[in-house]
């Protein structure tokens, strides 16, 4: 039988493994299932979404392990907590590959578009240096109207 670890990007697995080792923890089958689920998608997800994805791999995944593993993943920087302007917290698995991306969000349908722009990085650098800081993390969210919203006043797409 294939283990969940077989589906995880080896780079991610390596970083996760060395992070939890430093904390005196070990990889377990349950943790691997959650890591595999978290990086099986390019979409942003809530803890609840992740639980459903994990349970598709292993129906016995417990909520307790889910929350513990989720905080290990965010602490290690593999997963980033992002604010999409909604009631729930969202997690973003795409920062590992695209560390400088930002989010453009349609105010009506909730469609989230990831983008990166070199000018943003320049501005971030200028502002932080000018104020004597050095940037560690940024999370830029632009709330906007998508084309459909602009032209027809609403959009039919579902929230993502
Ligand atoms: Zn993102
Ligand atoms: Zn829209």
The verdict on 65 and 108 lying in the same domain is: no
DSSP-derived secondary structure letter, 45: B
Establish if 88 belongs to a structural domain.
Answer: no
The verdict on 78 and 105 lying in the same domain is: no
Could you list the pLDDT tens digit for every one of the 160 residues in the chain? 467 777 788 899 999 999 999 999 999 999 999 999 999 999 999 999 999 999 999 999 999 999 999 999 999 999 999 989 889 999 999 999 998 899 999 988 888 999 999 998 899 999 999 999 998 888 889 999 988 888 888 887 654 4
Establish if 159 belongs to a structural domain.
Answer: no
**pTM metric for this prediction:** 0.85
Establish if 72 belongs to a structural domain.
Answer: yes
Distance from Cα 24 to the centre of ligand 1, integer Å: 30
Structural domain boundaries enclosing 54: 4-82
The verdict on 117 and 48 lying in the same domain is: no
Distance from Cα 153 to the centre of ligand 2, integer Å: 9
Distance of CA 5 to the CA centre of its chain: 19
CATH number at residue 52: 1.10.10.10
Establish if 147 belongs to a structural domain.
Answer: yes
Q: Which of 52, 82, 112 is the last residue of a domain?
A: 82
Distance from Cα 85 to the centre of ligand 2, integer Å: 15
Nearest bound ligand to CA 42? 1
C-beta pairs of 1-7 under 8 Å, 24+ apart in sequence = 3/29, 3/32, 4/29, 4/32, 4/33, 4/35, 4/36, 4/57, 4/58, 5/32, 5/35, 5/36, 7/36, 7/40
Question: How far is Cα 26 from Cα 110, in angstroms, rounded to an integer?
Answer: 38
Distance of CA 81 to the CA centre of its chain: 6
């Amino acid at each position: 039988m294939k283990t969940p670890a077989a589906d995880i990007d080896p780079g991610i697995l390596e970083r996760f493994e060395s992070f939890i080792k430093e904390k005196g923890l070990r990889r377990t089958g349950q943790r691997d299932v959650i890591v595999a689920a978290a990086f099986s998608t390019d979409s942003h997800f809530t803890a609840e979404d992740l639980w459903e994805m994990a349970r598709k791999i292993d129906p016995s995944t417990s909520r307790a392990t889910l929350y513990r593993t989720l905080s290990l993943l965010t602490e290690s920087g593999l997963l980033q907590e992002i604010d999409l302007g909604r009631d729930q917290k969202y997690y973003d698995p795409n920062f590992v590959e695209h560390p400088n991306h930002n989010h453009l969000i349609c105010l009506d349908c909730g469609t989230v578009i990831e983008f990166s722009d070199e000018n943003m990085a320049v501005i971030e650098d200028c502002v932080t240096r000018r104020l004597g800081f050095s940037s560690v993390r940024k999370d830029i969210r632009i709330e906007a109207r998508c084309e459909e919203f602009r032209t027809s006043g609403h959009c039919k797409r579902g929230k993502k």
